[in-house]
Chain A
Amino acid sequence: MSKVIKIKKGLNISLLGTAEKIMKKADQADFYAIKPTDFVGIRPKLVVKVGDKVKAGTPLFFDKFQPEVQFTSPVSGEIVEINRGERRAILEVVVKADKTIEYEEFKVGDPKNLSREEIIEALQKSGLWPSLRQRPYSTIANPNDTPKAIFISAFDSAPLAPDMDYIVKDCVECFQKGIDVLSKLTNGKIHLNLNADYPPADTFTKAKGVELNYFTGPHPSGNVGVQINKIDPINKGDIIWYTYPQEIAAIGRFFEKGIYDATKIVALTGSEVKNPKYFKVLNGASIKNLVKNNVNDGELRYISGNVLTGSKMEDDGYIGFYDNQITVIPEGKYHDFFGWATPGFKKYTASRTLLSWLIPGKKYRLDTNFHGGHRAYVMTGEYEKVFPMDIYPVQLIKAIMIEDIDKMEQLGIYEVDEEDFALCEYVCTSKTEVQSIIRNGLDLMRKEMS
């Protein structure tokens, strides 16, 4: 085994509701949606209208800034709704699915014999190009760039995260084909980052044309940003692309079959799910059939993604384009009588200010309560305990708050993403909204640099 990179700083929040490794086939969802809000920095331009018939792989909208990048339908059916939010921004393009899926046919060949341009064109047309994202900024990769490396995080360390090895264990061939595709896109290395704590699936260890790196330690060791920082940090002007195993498998399947097969496996997790298991679905599926009669009573928070970085949705919401996980936790609209003074055996904290540290190994049922009010920064050293990069997190956040572009650059804004700061936000005593501050900083930087 090659060198193991040890991540010391971080935090594993132990929650109830890990998905059992049993694959269930859910009833096919009736509705599917692609959400432009899943993609950072795009301006969607619709190419369909309500009533149009589409096939799986038919474009729904494209990005005004990169018109070649298509966002395609995961199923065949009829466009039934285009939901808009503030200032008529498109939130969801909803497709009502046919009983049997019809696919657009794409002409593809063996990726080994195709040129970089042919591969890019094929991926763009199929709607799989958005699977590739870039650092800095976490936007969809720009095909005009040649990244210095491609990073793949093959394990997810977030709370209740699905087991990637389990998810991709059966797609050895399509994963390899996906890797072959990626190898045409960069002149640098393809880093496949694995968890050193258990033997990874053959899909990963037998992959050819990649460099295997092993990581160990608490969350965020599975964050691709942390892995880049430890292996090949981003300097000003550098571009790194990154993607995840399920996306690579989808790319592989596309080049195998010539159709956009949006199948993916998601884990249904969280303390309020009666039977947390894995489900095979199509990307963008409504979660209605998955959670129906499968969740506890009470007011619940449905999250596409994990509890730290996922996005809030309704009980008939749609799985996000990049998400491999659905989490259901209780809402926390309650008052706690003298909450600051109680021993707190049932509450969880990363510090030891509550007595729950007396019960190690306990799994918690955490809700969405804020547990306090917003304050100015008082405590120091909290973020540093859960932030494993060689960056001063608080100072970077303050530079963003005052919009000091030079300082942001000097303090390493190119190397970070919102998700890397999710734990900082979780532990913050002052309840600062760290992730949205980082997003603002990245957006500001992107505007400044373009």
Chain B
Amino acid sequence: MKSLRRYLDKIKPHFEKGGKFEKLHSTFDAFETFMFTPDAVTSKGSHIRDSVDMKRTMAIVVFALVPSVLFGMWNIGFHHFKATGQEGTLLEMFWLGFLRILPIIVVSYGVGLGIEFAFAQYRGHEVNEGFLVSGMLIPLVLPVDVPLWMVALATAFAVIIGKEVFGGTGMNILNPALTARAFLFFAYPSYMSGNEVWTHGMIKGEGIADTFSGATPLAEAAAGNVDNLPEVSEMFFGTILGSIGETSTLAILIGAVILLFTGVGSARIMISTFIGGLVMGLLLNAFAVNPFMEVPAWQHLLLGGFAFGAVFMATDPVSASQTPKGKIIYGFLIGFLAILIRVVNPAYPEGVMLAILLMNVFAPLIDHYVIENNIKKRLKRAKVKA
């Protein structure tokens, strides 16, 4: 460790201005600060600073995603074996999923971080840690058999158009991971929806049993086959088909507990999103005219990407509302609209992605009115006095 530090100190001048590798300054800095926190000390303002930094914060989010990742790996193997009618041990199932997901994660991180490093150098900034989370979220919201070049393309689109054109991490309007998913959804719908993309090997049709439908529970429900819905316990534990990381409500809840306990994720947004979904579900139940509308409101929270979106996507602090009151309104509307789109829109049962992206756009407006309210209160106080 000490020798590594000495080595870094030795080569550091090459990456400073005027050095041989000055063009790689941001990259060097990113790796250096990744291994060693900087030795900078305070010079003005508060003499002490909290031990938390962006790296730690982002590491916590990635940590909170781990249960979903691990479960997703196993689940892919599980459904592949089920679809092909084979027997497999837990480890075999997990290994199959691991081999399938790892390349997607590598491509997502490789492409995204590559672009981030280039932009950081171009702008003369330090590399921002935001993509550590986005790079993990992108694979988790994709179907298992998505081609790697699509992952690369979507990631590049999300990072450049979704984030860097606005000024980089902290400035983006839309959630980058959902931007990637939305891009693929509209550009390559045949790889993002239907009944064949959710089970590994089904597109190619290798050895898949004829009786296996491959439809996600949500698709079944949307088609009116409410009787085909799996047991509630299956939906909760996540042994159902869906995007890689979204199926297990339990794994997502473990992540939610980590985010809420550490204070990294906003409880206001998370809880109000669930409440919004529940309210819409109850409304639909009350005016139900078809079987999908009769699905109990609380079951909607277990279906599709609702829980994943509420816990990991809606809470993205950059694209969400920023005021405490705004967060509650923002979360509520996400849940409310997600279920509305899901049930009422005939073409597309997954409303969570669109609801969050839509509310991302409206978040600044919500904040505007919340702040306007505060301003009015202050003006009123001044007038009463005068």
Contact = CB atoms under 8 A, between A and B. Distances in A.
Contacts of B42: 368, 370
Given A374-B126, A380-B320, A337 B35 contact: yes
A238 B384 CA distance: 13
A279 to B, nearest CB: 21
A395 interface: yes
A58 to B, nearest CB: 33
B47 A335 contact: no
Contacts of B130: 378
A446 interface: no
Contacts of A425: 45-46, 49
A428 interface: yes
Given A308-B46, A348-B51, A351-B264, A340 B56 contact: yes
A375 B126 contact: yes
Contacts of B168: 376
B44 interface: yes
Given A354-B52, A373-B126, A378-B130, A392 B170 contact: no
B54 A372 contact: yes
A365 B302 CA distance: 46
B44 A429 contact: no
Contacts of A394: 322
A369 B36 CA distance: 13
B45 A348 contact: no
Interface string B28-47: 00000111111111111111
A379 B374 CA distance: 22
Nearest to B5: A335
Contacts of A349: 50-52
B375 A370 contact: no
Interface string B355-386: 00000000000010001001101110110011
B163 to A, nearest CB: 11
Interface string B203-232: 000000000000000000000000000000
A371 B371 contact: no
A435 interface: yes
Contacts of B53: 340, 371-373, 429, 431
Interface string B288-332: 000000000000000000000000000001101011100100000
Interface string A432-446: 011110000000000
B47 A329 contact: yes
B353 interface: no
Given A431-B49, A434-B45, A370 B40 contact: yes
Contacts of B320: 380
Nearest to B170: A376
A361 interface: no
A52 B37 CA distance: 51
B67 to A, nearest CB: 18
A332 interface: yes
B165 interface: no
Contacts of B262: 351-353
B366 to A, nearest CB: 13
A187 to B, nearest CB: 15
A412 B376 CA distance: 11
B1 interface: yes
Most chain A CB atoms below 10 A, which of B41, B48, B320: B48
A405 interface: no
B56 A353 contact: yes
Interface string B110-128: 0000000000000000101
B171 interface: yes
A65 interface: no
Interface in B3-62: 5, 33-57, 59-60
A75 B5 CA distance: 51
A371 B50 contact: yes
Contacts of B46: 307-309, 422, 425-426, 435
Nearest to B51: A347
A233 interface: yes
B169 interface: yes
Interface string A329-370: 101111111111100100111111110000000000011111
Given A347-B51, A352-B262, A373-B38, A378 B44 contact: no
A98 interface: no
Nearest to B43: A312
Contacts of A329: 47-48
Interface in B52-104: 52-57, 59-60
A82 B168 CA distance: 48
A344 B262 CA distance: 13
A354 B56 contact: yes
A371 B323 contact: no
A435 B374 contact: no
Contacts of B239: none
A51 B43 CA distance: 34
A376 B171 contact: yes
Contacts of A378: 54, 57, 128, 130, 169-170, 317-318
B383 to A, nearest CB: 9
Contacts of A433: 44-45
Contacts of B266: 380-381
A352 B263 contact: yes
Contacts of B39: 332-335, 369
B186 interface: no
B287 interface: no
A16 interface: no
Contact of A395 (B48, B56, B261, B371): B371
Most chain B CB atoms below 10 A, which of A233, A425, A429, A430: A429
A303 interface: yes
A347 B53 CA distance: 12
A373 B317 contact: no
Contact of B378 (A309, A372, A381, A410): A410
B38 A427 contact: no
A418 B53 CA distance: 22
Interface in A1-49: 13
Contacts of A258: none
A372 B1 contact: no
B57 A301 contact: no
A256 interface: no
A339 B50 contact: no
A340 B37 contact: yes
A372 B317 contact: no
A295 B40 CA distance: 23
Nearest to B320: A380
Given A373-B40, A373-B53, A376-B170, 13 more contacts: A233-B381, A235-B382, A332-B39, A337-B36, A368-B47, A372-B38, A372-B54, A380-B327, A381-B266, A392-B371, A392-B374, A412-B378, A431-B49
**What are the 5 closest A-B residue pairs judged by CB atoms, nearest first?**
A372-B53, A376-B170, A339-B37, A340-B55, A235-B382
Interface of A: 13, 233, 235-236, 238, 301, 303, 307-310, 312, 327, 329, 331-341, 344, 347-354, 366-381, 384, 390-392, 394-395, 410-412, 418, 422, 425-431, 433-436
25 contacts: A233-B381, A235-B382, A236-B382, A301-B47, A307-B48, A335-B37, A351-B52, A354-B56, A368-B41, A368-B47, A369-B37, A372-B56, A375-B128, A376-B128, A377-B170, A378-B54, A384-B324, A390-B374, A390-B377, A392-B371, A410-B375, A411-B375, A430-B170, A431-B53, A435-B46
